[in-house]
Structure 1
Amino acid sequence: MVIRGVLFDFSGTLFRIESAASSLRAALTARGLALPPREEAALAAALDRAGALPGGSPALDVPAHLAALVARRDESAELHRAAYTALARTVALPDPALYEMLYDRHMAPEAWQPYADALDVVRALDSRGVRVGVVSNIGWDPRPVFRAHGLHPYVDTYTLSFEHGVQKPDPRLFAHACAALGVDPAEALMVGDDRRADGGAAALGCAVHFVDHLPAETRPDALRHVLTLALPD
C-alpha cells in the first residue's frame, strides 16, 4: 500500500498542552493574583481532575448535568467553550474571571509544546511529496500554534471538527480530511493518540497508527515511525 497523505491529530500527537498548574499560574498572573503555593497546587490538581483544560487530562467524573454538553463539545466553538468553562466552574476559584481566562489561555501558542520530533517528521513528509493534514476534535483554529512553532509551512490542510459540526470518530470528518488532501482514504494514514476517536478513520479505509499521549519530554521520537510507514513510491 502506498501512503500519499498523512493525517495527524493535534493535541497529544503533534503537540502537548501545558500542565494545569502552568495554565492556572498564567491566568492568575494575568489577573494580578497570587496564591499560597499549596492552595495554588491544590486548585491546579482539582482542575486537572475536572478535565477543565482542553488537551489535558479527561474528566475523571463528568457531572450528570454536563454529560450531554461534554459529549458534543467539539461540534462548535460555542459548545467547546461552554463545556470547558463549565467543567472549570466545578472548581471554586478565587475570581470568577479566571474561568474564561483559563479557556483563553489554552488557545495561546505559548501554552503548547510540539513533540521533539514533530517538526522533523512533517518536514520530511513534505520533502517526499507526501501530503500532510491535521484533523482534530477542537473548538478553535490551531493554525497560530502551528505558525508559532514552525510546523505550518509543512501542513497542507486543517480539518477541524467545529468547522464541520461533526467530531471524531465519525467517518465523515475523516472523509472531509481526505477530500481536502486530495487522497483516497485507502492511500491515507491517520496518526493519533486516541484509539476510539482517531481509530474511526479505519471505518473509511484509512490505515491508522497510534502514539501515546505523554508529556513532551518523555516522548522524544514516537512520531518517527511514521516515516517508515509513509515511504515514497
Structure 2
Amino acid sequence: MTAVLFDFSGTLFRVESTESWLRGVVADAEVPFTEAEFTVTAQALEAVGALPGGGDPARVPEELADAWLIRDQSAALHRAAYTGLSRQVTLPDPAWHDALYDRHMTPAAWTPYPDAVEVLRTLRERGVPVGVVSNIGWDLRPVFREHGLDRYVDAYVLSYEHGIQKPDPRLFATACEALGADPRRTLMVGDDRRADGGAAALGCEVHFVDHLPVTDRPDGLRPVLDLVS
C-alpha cells in the first residue's frame, strides 16, 4: 500500500457524548432548564439518534425516510435529516434544534483518537499521501486544523461537495485521483463495513476499526502502519 484513505467520524475522530453536546447548547441559553430535565432530554435525543456521528436512530420517521438515505449528498439534506430527528424531542426553545446541529460542526465537539496524530505523522514521514473520505454534510477541515491534523492530510473528499456518498466507488476514485494514487495500492481505513467497504469495488484494500469512545480505543489505528510500505 502506497497511499491511505481515512474515514472521519469513528475512525480518526469521535464526536462528543450526547450529554456534552446538549450541555454545550444549554450553557449558552437563557431558558431555565433543571438537571432532571437535562437528563431526560439527553436520553431522548440519544434514543432518536439526533447527534450526527453518534448512534444511528432505531427508527427513522416515515417523513424523513427519503432524506435520510441520501442525507450526506448535500448540506441542506444533512441538516434537514438530523434536525428532523431532534424535533421528535420537545425542547424548551425550538431554536435549540438548529443550535444543536450547529454545535456538532464545531471543533470542540470532536476529539481525535489517541493514536491519530502519531499514525498520520508517521505516514507523512514515510512519504505516504493521505486522504480523508467522509460521508458528511459540512466542512470538516476546521476540525482537522484546530486539532493540528490538517498538516498531515493531502486531500479531503467530502460527500456533500460531490453530491455522492459512500459506498459509491466514485468517491474513492476521486480521492485516489487527488492523491495521484493507484487504487490497487491504496488502503481505505474506516469503521463502517458497508460505506467504507465500497472502496473494495475500486480495488482498494480495506481495513476496519471499531467505532468506540476515545478512551476505549487508544491504539486502534496503529495496525495501519504495518499495512503500508
* The two structures share one fold, judged by TM-score above 0.5: yes
Alignment map for 1:31-70 (pairs within 5 Å)? 31-70=29-68
Alignment pair present for 1:198 and 2:196: yes
Q: Deviations over 1:101-130 (max 9, x none)?
A: 000000110110000000000000010010
Once residues 108 and 22 of structure 2 are traced to their aligned partners in structure 1, the CA distance between those partners, rounded to angstroms, is 14
* Corresponding residue number in structure 2 for 1:82: 80
Letter in 2 for 1:213: H
**In 2, Cα distance between the equivalents of 1:127 and 1:179?**
21
Q: Specify the code of the residue in structure 1 equivalent to 2:180.
A: G
SS in 2 for 1:81: helix
Say which SS state the counterpart of residue 48 (structure 1) adopts: helix
Counterpart residue identity of residue 54, structure 2: G
Following superposition, the deviation at residue 38 of structure 1 comes to: 2.1
TM-score (normalizing by structure 1): 0.97
One of 1, 5, 21 as aligned partner of 1:23 = 21
Aligned pairs (5 A) from 1:205-220: 205-220=203-218
- 8 Å CA contact 1:28–1:34 kept in 2: the answer is no
**1:31 CA displacement:** 1.7
Specify the alignment match of 2:6 in structure 1: 8
Percent same amino acid among aligned pairs? Answer: 63
SS of the equivalent of 2:221 reads helix
Q: Which letter does structure 1 place at the counterpart of 2:216? A: T
2:63 partner letter = H
Partners in 2 of 1:33 and 1:146 — Cα distance?
33
* 4+ residue segments displaced more than 6 Å: none
Instruction: Tell me how far 1:49 sits from its aligned partner.
Output: 1.4
Distance in 1 (CA, whole Å) between partners of 2:122 and 2:155 is 16
Report the 3-state secondary structure (helix = DSSP H, G, I; strand = E; otherwise coil) of the residue aligned with 2:181: coil
Match for residue 135 of structure 1? Answer: 133
C-alpha distance after superposition, 1:44-64 (max 9, x if no partner): 111111111110111111111
User: Does the C-alpha gap of structure 1 residues 34 and 123 become closer, same or farther in structure 2, counting only changes over 3 Å?
Assistant: farther
Q: How does 1:84-123 map to 2 (within 5 A)?
A: 84-123=82-121
Distance (whole Å) between structure 1 residues aligned to residue 180 and residue 44 of structure 2: 44
Q: Residues 16 and 115 of structure 1 are in contact (CA less than 8 Å); yes or no, is this contact kept in structure 2? A: yes
TM-superposed CA distance for 1:34, in Å, is: 4.3
**Map of 1:157 onto structure 2:** 155
**What is the correspondence of 1:158-173 to structure 2 with a 5 Å cutoff?**
158-173=156-171
1:55 counterpart letter in structure 2: G
Q: Which amino acid aligns with 1:57?
A: G
TM-score by length of 2: 0.98
How far has the Cα of 1:157 moved from its partner? 0.3
**Structure 2: how far apart are the matches of 1:149 and 1:32?**
30
Gap regions ≥5 residues in structure 1: none
